[in-house]
Amino acid sequence: MVGTVKRTPRKSDLSRLLTEQPNPAAADLDLKPSLELARVINREDAKVAAAVRKALPQVARAIDLAASALQRGGRLIYVGAGTSGRIAALDASECPPTFNTDPRTVQYVMAGGPKALGAAVEASEDSRELGEQEIAKRNPGKNDVVVGIAASGRTPFTIAAVQYARKRGAKTIALVCNHGSPLEQAAHLAIVAEVGPEVVSGSTRMKAGTAQKMVLNMLSTGTMTRLGYVYGNLMVNVHLKNEKLTERAASILQRAAGVTKDVALQALKDAGGLPVALVMLQAGVSRAEAATALKGARGHVRRAIAAARKSLRGTSQPFGRAVFARSGGKTPLK
């Protein structure tokens, strides 16, 4: 897991991988009626969560590495090709609207570039040179975490990118679905979700892709939770770019601060954003005081609330009076 791979795996290695083996449970798949076909796929999909569960200690370590990097101003950078790259792109693209992060905070590098998201450009994955060139454009360093994603663990583009990032001081993680792969050996940490043979032999967009999506869900959500962008289990850093998200933010404030919908909507308007509004309501402070507390807490909402409350205790203003008045007597989330 800690060594550096010096060779590109031979193409003949592919046939030995577990994800490339025929699946006996899906024999004669083309002869089955639609309902039975769906049942076969569903039964196989049910095995994915168990495979991911075995890798949870490594997922937790990855969350800690990513949270630490982002706290230092670093980045989380996904690298992949084909299905793996598209899943990486999806997860990275969902972070700004979900957690209001800078688009540069969680990034993806895709073999074949953005055009490969909607069209097959799979030949690019065989090039180590392209892998190095693409990750070099991001200038990875000691404050970054680079995650290489490949079901086989043998994709030259991804291996080369991870090796390049590691040489330049970045922490590196491999997300694979086969044990003992070159990508696993290239990274500091490996998350291995061994899902077994696919229903359609070798079609790793199926169980392997589902496992990758589950792990990236955990990694990005866990990281943002550690950074304080989740309060309780509420999405308190959501970006208010449309009516649906504003309604969701008001609902979050109602639950978190124990206020009415009218009060929540007014607080959002007064604060200019959900985190500031929540600190204002929970701590009973002004917009400026809430903003200062959030800045001091580096955006960590729970810590900002605690800091604002502590600051308020040092003044003559009675704690909680503003919260109670705004809430109509409802009890806020602790």
Rounded to 5 degrees, what are φ and ψ at 40?
A: -60, -50
| DSSP class of 10 | P
Residues present in the chain in total: 334
Q: Is 238 exposed, middle or buried (0-12, 13-18, 19+ CB in 10 A)?
A: buried
Exactly one of 94, 122, 194, 247 is catalytic; name it.
94
Q: Would you say the CATH fold of 243-327 matches that of 11-226?
A: no
- The domain segmentation of the chain, as residue ranges, is 11-226, 243-327
Q: What is the C-alpha to C-alpha distance for residues 134 and 150, in angstroms, rounded to an integer?
A: 16
Residue 18 confidence (pLDDT):
85
Residue 10 confidence (pLDDT):
46
Q: pLDDT band at 69, cuts 50/70/90?
A: very high
Q: Is 318 exposed, middle or buried (0-12, 13-18, 19+ CB in 10 A)?
A: exposed
> In the predicted model, what is the mean pLDDT of residues 186-202?
96
Q: Name the pTM for this structure.
A: 0.88
Active site residue 94: yes
Model pLDDT for residues 25-65, shown as the tens digit of each residue: 999 999 999 999 999 999 999 999 999 999 999 999 999 99
Exactly one of 125, 134, 184, 198 is catalytic; name it.
125
> In the predicted model, what is the mean pLDDT of residues 236-249?
87
> In the predicted model, what is the mean pLDDT of residues 117-137?
88
Among 1.10.8, 1.20.1070, 3.30.1360, 1.10.3470, name the CATH number for the domain at 243-327: 1.10.8
Decide yes or no: CATH 1.10.3980.10 for domain 11-226.
no
